[in-house]
Structure formats: structure tokens, C-alpha cells
Structure 1
Amino acid sequence: MNSILKMGIISALISLLFSCKEQVSPLSEDYYKKSGAIYFIPGGNGFERGARKTVADIASFSVIKDVYARDKDHLYFMGCPQQLVDVNTFQLKNKIPIDQQHVFKFEGFASATSDCSQNQLTIIEGADPATYTTLYHQLPALAKDKTHYFYKDQPLHVDYATFSVVNSNFVKDKNQLYAVTDKGILSLDYKTDHIKALNALYILLDDKKLLYYEPYQGIGLLEIEIPSPNKIKFLNEKTVLIDQLVIISGKKFGYPEVDAGSFELLEGSNGNALWSRDKNHVYYEQQIFTEADPKTFEVLKFAVAKDAKHIFIGNKIFNGPDVKSFKKVDKSQVNHDFEDDLGNKYWYQTNKGQVLLVPVTKK
């Protein structure tokens, strides 16, 4: 029997097994009755997403909402009886699982096929179920109850009465400034008398210090002394012009003499300034590119650009095509990326991070 036939038979048997199932409640598409038992079947698709036969008492079983259900003895999450939850007082309070004594969280990857020991709700230590609420509209993973703030389910050691969110990167209380990191809230050695949020990522202290926090690649806190904050302009969330400074992702632009008044980003995202220019120069990855003319320069596609005299791949001149007619084409119409009026055609390719223009071989 070949493998394709075997798979077909297995699929048919699984489909037959669950074809007679009955959805328990319109409150959930995950719980079903079948052959005198309760099954947890995500979305009712047991073939693709797996199925779990529960130990639930069918006579007292009821759905709470979605993956949550109960019988006379247990609360069920993903079809698994929960060990720490009081079934009699459990409820979903604004989608937050609580009972009379505790607020709960789930850490891990919920699955209908994994062992129930891996699908257990755990307690958020110190959280008051009567007053606990999420503050995700202010900051992802932030919550509070009547006495504590919590970040990523951990209580924060901050002054409760004066705690506030400054922006996505910073929070504060009357005593201190804190950075929002991917692991928790980091205490910083700054006072908070005069703090101004410039946007979602940058703050200004005492009109003198610009602060930015980069959570990735171990970069952390970045600080820049600002001569004066008289003129502030954002080109995007990470790129700000302050008087004569060009600042990208919390760092001064790589070429110190860049003209902030005429500076513009031409290509790049996420704080990556691939191509940029001012009235005097073109810049590639924040370094001056003297071969390019800022008045006639244009980006064609990512690292590929041209001016009146040259075609460029990054900071290298690319020779061969006719510069004047060289252009990017619509790939839905042709099987290449660039062409000129002399019949030269090229594919755009990358190899180990390097951009290549590969000639299309003429037949």
C-alpha cells in the first residue's frame, strides 16, 4: 500500500470519527459531544488541529467561553482540567481569567495534542482579582490592581500614586524614570521633574537630553545632548530632526556635516537609512557618497539607484546599461526587473546580503 493511499485512509477514518460530533454550545467552536464523551477540537477541525478527549462529566459540563468550560469538579482550559483554579468562583472578567482568590495567566503554547501538564493556568502572584485590570491601551503587557502595577505579569516596585506611562519606551513615577525593555521595567538614573514625550519612542529631559531606548541587539539606552530644542521635525517614528541634528534610532547621523534643513530619507525603514540626501550630498547607509549628484539622484529599487551620469548598486557604480533610459519595469508584464532602450535587461537578485543585477541572456 503506497503512502498516498495510507494518508487517504487515515484522513477518511479521522473524518468519520468526528463526523457525528455535536457542538456543545454556540459560545465555543472548540467543545463537542461524541460517543458519550466531551472532546476539545479547536475550531471543530480535528484533522488539522488535533483533538483531546476530556475527562469531563458530560451531565454537568457547560461552556464558559471559547477554550474555557467547567463541570461539577473542574475548570477546563483547552480541554484540560485545571489544578490551581477554584471551579465554583471562576469567571472571565473582561477576558481575564480569575477566581475568588487569584488572577491567572497562561504561559506557553496551547495545543490540543500536548500533555495537559503543559496547558495549565498559573497564578499572577500578588494580583487582586476584584480590582485587577489590563492597561494594554497605554502599554502592551501593563496591568494594575488597587495596590500594584504589573508588567508582563510581574509586580512593579514603583510609587503607585504617581506612576504613569510616558511613551512606548519609558514610564515614570515621582522618584525615577524607567525604560520599558523586552524583559521588564528597567530603573534609570534620571529624575523626572521635566520630561516631555516627543513621540512614541523619544523623550526630552530638561530640554537638554534626548533619550531613546533600543531593546534589540543589546543596544539599550541612548542619550544625546541637545543644544536647543527650538525646531523639532519627525520624518518617521525613529528619525527626528532637531535644529541642525539628524537623529536616527537614537544616534546622530553618520556624516556629522549633514544639512538637517534639507535632509530627506529616500529609502529605508525601521531606522535603516539606506539612501538619503540633503542639498549638498547623497548618502548611502549614512555615509557621504560623492559620486552621486543630489539634484538628479533617484532610487529605483532598494539598493539600486541612478543620477544623470551613473547607475548605482549601493555605493558602487554599475556600468553597462544606458543611464538615461535605464529604468525599473513592471514584472507583471515582463520577466525581468530592469531594462534600457538598447535592449539590455536585468534581474534583481540578492546573494548573502549583496544586491546583484544579473543580465538576461539573449536568445
Structure 2
Amino acid sequence: MKVFYIVLAIIVLIVLGIRYFVFRIGKPVNLEVSNSYFHHYRKNLIVYSPMGNWFELGYFESEADVATFQPINEDFGKDKNNVFWKGRKQLVDHDTFKVEDFYIIKDKNHVYHLNGRKFYELEIINGADPKTYQLLDASITDYRRHYWTKDGYSVYYKNKKINADPKTFRPLNNAIAVDADFIYAILSYRGEGNEMVEVDEVIQKHKMIEGEIHAINETYARIGNSVVSAFTKSEFEINTFDSIATTQEIDYWNIMVNDVLINKGTIYPEIDAKSFEALRYDFSKDKNGVYYDFKKIKGADYSSFEILSDQYSKDNQHVYFEDVILKGANSKKFEFSSQHAIWEDGENQYKNGKIITSKK
């Protein structure tokens, strides 16, 4: 029995020791406002730990005055002298600092944003007027609500100033915006493939066109008898028709206007839009055939057509590299080899649509 009590005492001491030296978070300062600001378990100080999960999400001992500190929201707080963001003291005007709708952060002197170049330090939005700065459209219910802001003089996209009319400017979708005078392309990226870079720009592209304005989908918009779009490669495209009777979304990249297919801003009148279907990679089809990058694969039999990779396909008779027949390739035996980017059919090996070795 004596041994039992000794072991129990050791276990209790170990548990208390672990709690003393490892556990740092005590009671939350105000759980109704924030579940990330806590009193320290042992020390007389305020700590910041996201959702109290200090072990995985981090922990910071703040300089805040314990007696007067109160959280403003999840990440911001104030004491009698300073404002804190994620536990770090910020260089802002204490008495006039406020956070509106979480993303509108300002004091009497400046407007701030959270994505600054210095770690855990609010950054000033250059030129923004704190007296009039607000969300562009508070009625937007999705994530884009906080992308768009304005003051009495300018519009801002992801904290970057746009030379647009704040009274009439409005985004139509992810790609196009308008104001009373101009059409704008909204560019999150520039370039394609390995050359794609993030830019987050809104660029004035065309004078406003008269007529009805509405979004067709997230990348196309109709303005009068024109359809406009903005994609990473061309940045802005405008296609004008004598008249527009119908518009229909096919998918993110493709729409049908007057029974004509438009893909990434380019019209393809030779493709039957009503039966068009995007397949994997750059392959697609309509009732008349199969296409690679909107070039018809001549002679392809869709009933036996099979996509093998981003460039290769086959049917019962032929193997195709992009939109052309791979001459001499055996369709029934053609398959990927164990070597990188190499294909084979038992007689030949192929790379980039050409024979590189042959048994013949």
C-alpha cells in the first residue's frame, strides 16, 4: 500500500510539473469577444494564442497592461495606452482607433490593412481617407465583400488604389468591373503556366458601351451588344455582335452567345456550341468531332476515343499527338513507359510526338 501512495504521489508531481512548466494559458480575458486572448497560467500578463491552441498555432506574450486590457475582436485588443494586433503593439492613434466589419481598420490619421511587409505590423493604405473609407458594397455576401473598398475619392481593390469613380464603380464578376465611363479588367494573375504571377490589379481597358449591363458568369459580362471578358493570357477581350438574342453559361471558361461558342474570349464559329463539351486537359468535343485546343482532330472516332495524357490520345485506329495523327504508332499497344515523358507501342518509343528509338 505504501508503494502505491509513493507511485501516486510521483504521478501527481509529474502532472503538476508538466502543467506548471508547459501549460501557459489560463482563463480567457473575454470569451464573448475573443477566444485568442488569455491571462497567462502563471505570470501576470496577457498572452495571444489563436483559439487557445498554442501548441499548434502559436503563442505570444503581450506587453499589454493586464488590469486595463480588453479584446476588441478576435485578434485586436486595447489597454489604457496602446492598441494590439495578435498581441503585438501597433503604431496607431489609441483614442480614435477602431475596427469596422473586421477589415475596415482606421484611426483619425490613416487606414490600415493586415497584409503588410513587416511581420505582425499593420500597414498604412497610402492615400486612403479615414473619414470616408468604407466597404464598396456592404451587400456583397461572399468573400469578395472585403476585396472592394472606397473613400470619397477613389476605389481600392485588395488595398490598392484604382483610378475609378467611387460613386458609380461596381464589379460585375471576378473578371470585369465598370463605372459610368469605363470598363475594367480584374486581374488576379498575369501570364499562364510556369510564367503565371500574382498581380491583383484592376486596369482600365475600354470606354463604357451603351446598353444593358449584366454578368453572364464569373468571367464574362454583357454590355449592350458586346461580350467582355478578362483572362490571364489576353487580359481583356471584347466581342461585338449585331445583336444579342441569347447568352448561356457553359462553364467558367466557355459561354454560348447566339449559338456561337466563346472560349477565353475567342469566338469559335466552326464548333457547334449547343453540343460542345469540355473534356480533360485541352480536349473537347461537339456533335461533329473531337478537338485539341479547339483544333479538330481529323478522323478521330469519338466512340472509341480515349484521352491518355495532356497531349496524347487514341481511338481504335490511331494515336494522336495533340491534334495530329502520330504516324506509325500502334493504337492497341500504345502506352506510357517507365521512363519520364516516354511512350511506347512495342516497336517504337516516342517523346513529344516524335519517334526517338525504333526496333525496326
The reply to whether TM is greater than 0.5 is: yes
Q: Residue type matched to 2:256 in 1?
A: L
Q: Residue type matched to 2:37 in 1?
A: Y
Is it true that 1:153 corresponds to 2:154 in the alignment? no
Q: What is aligned with 1:342?
A: none
Residues 148-200 of structure 1: per-residue CA shift (max 9 Å, x gap): 43322244433343333333322222222222233333222323322533333
- Give the 3-state SS of the residue equivalent to 1:267 in structure 2: coil
Could you tell me how far 1:261 is from its partner in structure 2? 4.3
For residues 273-292 of structure 1, the aligned pairs below 5 Å read 274-292=282-300
Could you tell me how far 1:123 is from its partner in structure 2? 3.1
Would the alpha carbon gap of residues 159 and 307 (structure 1) be closer, same or farther in structure 2, given more than 3 Å must change?
same
Answer whether contact 1:173 1:192 (CA < 8 A) is retained: no
Is it true that 1:51 corresponds to 2:59 in the alignment? yes
RMSD: 3.7
Is it true that 1:202 corresponds to 2:208 in the alignment? no
Q: 5+ unaligned residues in a row in structure 1: which ranges?
A: 1-12, 110-116, 269-273, 324-345
Would the alpha carbon gap of residues 231 and 40 (structure 1) be closer, same or farther in structure 2, given more than 3 Å must change?
closer
Q: What is aligned with 1:81?
A: 89
Could you tell me how far 1:238 is from its partner in structure 2? 1.6
Q: What is aligned with 1:94?
A: 101
Would the alpha carbon gap of residues 20 and 322 (structure 1) be closer, same or farther in structure 2, given more than 3 Å must change?
closer
Percent identical residues: 22
Q: What is aligned with 2:37?
A: 31
Would the alpha carbon gap of residues 265 and 156 (structure 1) be closer, same or farther in structure 2, given more than 3 Å must change?
closer
Q: Which among 191, 201, 208 is matched to residue 191 of structure 1?
A: 208
Q: Residue type matched to 1:177 in 2?
A: I
Would the alpha carbon gap of residues 129 and 17 (structure 1) be closer, same or farther in structure 2, given more than 3 Å must change?
farther
TM-score, length-scaled by structure 2: 0.69
Q: Residue type matched to 2:150 in 1?
A: K
Q: 5+ unaligned residues in a row in structure 2: which ranges?
A: 1-16, 189-199, 347-360
Answer whether contact 1:63 1:70 (CA < 8 A) is retained: yes
Of 71-80 and 24-33, more deviation after overlay is shown by 24-33
- Give the 3-state SS of the residue equivalent to 1:66 in structure 2: coil
For residues 87-126 of structure 1, the aligned pairs below 5 Å read 87-95=94-102, 96-108=104-116, 118-124=119-125, 125-126=127-128
Instruction: Give the whole-Å Cα distance in 1 for the aligned partners of 2:23 and 2:270.
Output: 71
Answer whether contact 2:306 2:313 (CA < 8 A) is retained: yes
- Give the 3-state SS of the residue equivalent to 1:43 in structure 2: helix
Q: What is aligned with 1:222?
A: 237
Instruction: Give the whole-Å Cα distance in 1 for the aligned partners of 2:171 and 2:331.
Output: 56
- Give the 3-state SS of the residue equivalent to 2:51 in structure 1: helix
TM-score, length-scaled by structure 1: 0.69
Q: Which among 272, 275, 282 is matched to residue 259 of structure 1?
A: 272
Could you tell me how far 1:102 is from its partner in structure 2? 3.9
Q: Which among 330, 334, 343 is matched to residue 319 of structure 1?
A: 330
Could you tell me how far 1:293 is from its partner in structure 2? 1.6
Instruction: Give the whole-Å Cα distance in 2 for the aligned partners of 1:15 and 1:222.
Output: 63
Q: What is aligned with 1:213?
A: 230
Answer whether contact 2:151 2:166 (CA < 8 A) is retained: no
Residues 117-151 of structure 1: per-residue CA shift (max 9 Å, x gap): 63222333333356623537285511134554332
Q: What is aligned with 2:150?
A: 144
Instruction: Give the whole-Å Cα distance in 1 for the aligned partners of 2:91 and 2:24.
Output: 31
Answer whether contact 1:201 1:212 (CA < 8 A) is retained: yes
Instruction: Give the whole-Å Cα distance in 1 for the aligned partners of 2:154 and 2:59.
Output: 39
Would the alpha carbon gap of residues 186 and 20 (structure 1) be closer, same or farther in structure 2, given more than 3 Å must change?
closer
Q: Residue type matched to 2:121 in 1?
A: Q
